[in-house]
Amino acid sequence: DADVTQTPRNRITKTGKRIMLECSQTKGHDRMYWYRQDPGLGLRLIYYSFDVKDINKGEISDGYSVSRQAQAKFSLSLESAIPNQTALYFCATSDWTAGSQETQYFGPGTRLLVL
């Protein structure tokens, strides 16, 4: 089974609709992240969470919100989707411990199309 899963894998929605992307992990990591990937722009950080009670805005948080329901679950919401939110969305987790090399583990991605 995959360590980091994302649902749905593909989604088409209309402008103005609310949509939620879900991420679950079985790695036991405290830190979770949401990125979006656009051609020519690489990955950009939307939100990140260092534990259940700690949620922080990333580089491009406008138009998005998140919920950390549990250590294993981190959801990304688009309250009112707009076409320029069409992108590939990645969830990631990381295994931070003091003195360690932090590495991020990515989910398979969710391809979102907003019409």
Partner 1 sequence: AQTVTQSQPEMSVQEAETVTLSCTYDTSESDYYLFWYKQPPSRQMILVIRQEAYKQQNATENRFSVNFQKAAKSFSLKISDSQLGDAAMYFCAYSLDFNTGNQFYFGTGTSLTVIP
Residue nearer to partner 1 on the CB measure, 16 or 108: 108
User: Smaller CB distance to partner 1: residue 31 or 68?
Assistant: 31
Binding site for partner 1 (CB under 8 A): 31, 33, 35, 40-45, 48, 50, 58, 88, 90, 92, 94, 96, 98, 100-106, 108-109, 111
Least distance to partner 1 from the beta carbon of 113, Å?
15
* Minimum distance of partner 1 from residue 102's CB (angstroms): 6
Residue in 12, 52, 16 with CA at minimum distance from that of residue 32: 52
Buried b or exposed e, range 92-115, using 16+ CB within 10 angstroms: bbbeeeeeeeeebbebebbebebe
